[in-house]
Structure 1
Amino acid sequence: MDGYAVRGPAPWRVVGRRLAGPGAAPGTLLPGTAVEIATGAPVPGEADAVLPYERSIRVDDTVTPDPQAPAGRRNIRVAGEDAQAGDPLVPAGRRVTSAVLGAAAQAGADTLAVRRRPAVRLAVTGDEIVHGGVPAPGLVRDALGPAVAAVVAAAGGTVAASVHLPDDGAALHAALTAGGADVLVVTGSSSVGAADHLHRVLAGLGAAWHVDGVQCRPGHPQLLARLPGDGPWVVGLPGNPFAGLVAALTLLQPLLEALTGAAPAPGVRLPVFGSAPVPARGVRLVPVHLEPTRATIATGARPASLRAAATADALAVLDPGWTDGAPADLLPIP
């Protein structure tokens, strides 16, 4: 605080001034004396407190406390009061936010040990896919490419490359073995149709399977595998846009967050109101609008459409037996 560093009971005789800047603290402060001092200046070691200007009365070289002012704090910061040498500033797994950078600088840490952003290679498959304009008959716009890129960024990754592949096993094999990525994301080709080659190509590469289908609607044909020799992870997303978004939020996002070492976000659970069919087994994910104490199901959600999700704030995970107004877990839409 700007004011007077004082020692002993009042009144105090002002014997010097110390402004912020380099240099040691003023010399010995005797009882009954004070040093005019600025915020950030070294305080004499014998000082009992700093009396702010607004709580003081000065006449010539004598200072007394303002009798109308409430008793104040010492207003002295002590070296090491925030952290001692060797103390962790933040736990492992925290993202490097503006506050973390500031705290590190304040503690004198010039470098930080961090995990780099996972590099993601995105392969959009489909002979019917176009990437601009209004699609001609028999063609569809790529909706998952932009959506997945946003999920990757929100989860701490970076899209290192994005390619469009025809429905061809050899082209998919080449894309999976091109290197240069920690995670390979394939949209489409994850199901069992005639044009879906991902299972066969991964089997030929000797991939280790971790997830092969999830009991959820939509988004069931999602998969997670890893190529041999600590190779890249492979995430397969359904080609239907909303189903693919569901898989990206339930499989790709947690994978990327784990690779960055991020601590899991706290779960959010609210009563969900509206109407939606729930499967006898597994779960159904529906887009919802959030209010402070409840969520409402957005109408018009379909596996092939992102329109309802575009108006929503989160996805609600409806368990079997869910009924209107029952609570459900929520996944924010980044």
Structure 2
Amino acid sequence: MSAVIWAEARDLAYAAGLAAPAPAELVGLPDADGRTLAEPLRALTDLPAFPTSSIDGWAVRGPGPWRPVGRVLAGGVSAPLDEDGTCVEIATGAMVPSGADAVVRIEDSTRDAAGLVLGKPRNGDVPDMRRPGEEAHKDEELLPAGTAIDPAVIGVAATCGYEALTVRRTPRAGLLVFGDELLTSGTPGDGRVRDSLGPQVPGWLRRYGAATGPVVGPVRDTLDAHLAALRGALAGNDLVCTTGGTMHGPVDHLHPALTELGAEYIVNTVAVRPGFPMLLARVPGPDGRPRFLAGLPGNPQSAVIALITLVAPLLAGLQGRPAPTLSTVRAAAPVRGRGNDTHLALARLGHDGRSATLVGHVGSAMLRGLSNAHGFVVVRPGQQVAAGDDVEFLSLPLVPGERP
């Protein structure tokens, strides 16, 4: 299989996820944060459901002055106003009684010696009475399926009267670390390097919406060990990521193992630098739903590029979310192309979020540059970017609580 164009690889990964969506489940509102709507969120009633005062004042009928005949607070119901020249004192959020045709603000009113209310309703852009259906009508679609649920979405659902939401089950993702040369503790030396992907990949997976379990490995560099580890991980996960072994070296057993498992390649190498020896495969599942395996290169920066290229769109598809998109920024300096390959150049955004400056220490085996970057400038095949040019930008997922 020849190397796939980078943009096409992203599309293929997303389509594969959409074709195998995670099952839906019903969860209570407090547990819905971070999940994805599996069906549209519709208004269960008009919003507001009844005419509501947006201020403290007087609900009035007809021209003034008005004779007070009662009082209504939020949560209460007033008798109808049946006569012109009458009013009720009303609190913010209270139901406007039937028969009332306006609300007069308390600060715009006075009372005469006889106790009659004098004043005038305001005209302007801010209404003092909210009409039924002003925000939404019953059965209106408020948010489509595929919407990522955040506290604001939960608030809308609660306003409508929902107790629970139908959401996509969170995809489970496992990680297998390959490589006898890797250390899981201590400092590197004597031909052995410290594993940096086992500690970091689960965090990327969680930011893309997956649930993760314990990291397995380093797995011994034998075909039997690879097969045993893969079978175990695939049994309990929707997606298994592996690190290293995506080439065809003397101890690279991933491709033979995939053949043994009856896997089908979705993508096998991508025309992108760094990170080209990445893969995504579909593995038959015992319940009829496929499982997925993402082979990440062993070099750390290349592995992260494989994650944002193949894993991020796959997980978006599995959750029924929209495909990840690119933004546009302005290059602060020239960015070279890489011939027929897409070049992903690590960059940091300025305070305005519009200008991108390349960072240093960006070798495929380095992580220092990645730790100082907000994402990647995307240079398409055959493209050269000059200082000041608008260029596509692929953001890394945000730290929880950070705003773009």
Give the TM interval when normalised to the shorter protein: over 0.9
Cα gap change, 1:134/1:46 in structure 2, threshold over 3 Å: closer, same or farther? same
Partner residue in 2 for 1:318: 379
2:216 is matched with which residue: 163, 185, 188? 163
1:210-241: CA deviation from partner (whole Å, max 9, x where unpaired): 00000001100000001124331000000000
2:69 is matched with which residue: 7, 10, 15? 15
1:306 partner letter: L
1:13 CA displacement: 1.5
Cα RMSD (Å): 1.9
Q: Is the 8 A contact 1:7 1:33 kept in 2?
A: yes
2:170 partner letter: R
1:91 CA displacement: 0.8
1:69-108: CA deviation from partner (whole Å, max 9, x where unpaired): 7767542223333233322221111011111111111111
1:259-286: CA deviation from partner (whole Å, max 9, x where unpaired): 1111234430122233554221111111
How far apart in 2 are the matches of 1:174 and 1:87? Answer: 51
Partner residue in 1 for 2:304: 245
Residues 1:187 and 2:243 aligned together: yes
Task: Give TM-score scaled by structure 1 length.
Answer: 0.93
Partner residue in 2 for 1:262: 321
Task: Give TM-score scaled by structure 2 length.
Answer: 0.78
Superposed, 1:1-334 pairs within 5 Å as 1-21=55-75, 23-59=76-112, 61-65=115-119, 73-164=126-217, 165-178=219-232, 179-229=235-285, 230-291=289-350, 292=352, 293-319=354-380, 320-325=382-387, 326-334=389-397
How far apart in 2 are the matches of 1:298 and 1:29? Answer: 73
Which stretch of the first structure deviates more once superposed, 229-238 or 207-216? 229-238
How far apart in 1 are the matches of 2:137 and 2:248? Answer: 59
Q: Is the 8 A contact 1:18 1:26 kept in 2?
A: no
Q: Is the 8 A contact 1:89 1:104 kept in 2?
A: no
**How many pairs were matched up?**
332
Q: Is the 8 A contact 1:20 1:41 kept in 2?
A: yes
1:311 CA displacement: 0.7
How far apart in 2 are the matches of 1:300 and 1:283? Answer: 19
1:2 CA displacement: 1.1
How far apart in 1 are the matches of 2:240 and 2:331? Answer: 34
2:101 partner letter: D
Which stretch of the first structure deviates more once superposed, 72-81 or 55-64? 72-81
1:29 CA displacement: 4.0
Bigger relative CO (Cα 8 Å, ≥ 6 apart): 2
Cα gap change, 1:174/1:4 in structure 2, threshold over 3 Å: closer, same or farther? same
2:379 partner letter: L
Which stretch of the first structure deviates more once superposed, 265-274 or 219-228? 265-274
Structure 1 unmatched ranges of 5 or more: none
Cα gap change, 1:176/1:231 in structure 2, threshold over 3 Å: closer, same or farther? farther
Q: Is the 8 A contact 1:26 1:43 kept in 2?
A: no
Which stretch of the first structure deviates more once superposed, 155-164 or 176-185? 155-164
Identity fraction in percent: 39
2:161 partner letter: G
1:315 CA displacement: 0.8
Which stretch of the first structure deviates more once superposed, 12-21 or 316-325? 316-325
How far apart in 2 are the matches of 1:316 and 1:59? Answer: 71
Q: Is the 8 A contact 2:246 2:279 kept in 1?
A: yes
How far apart in 2 are the matches of 1:280 and 1:136? Answer: 36
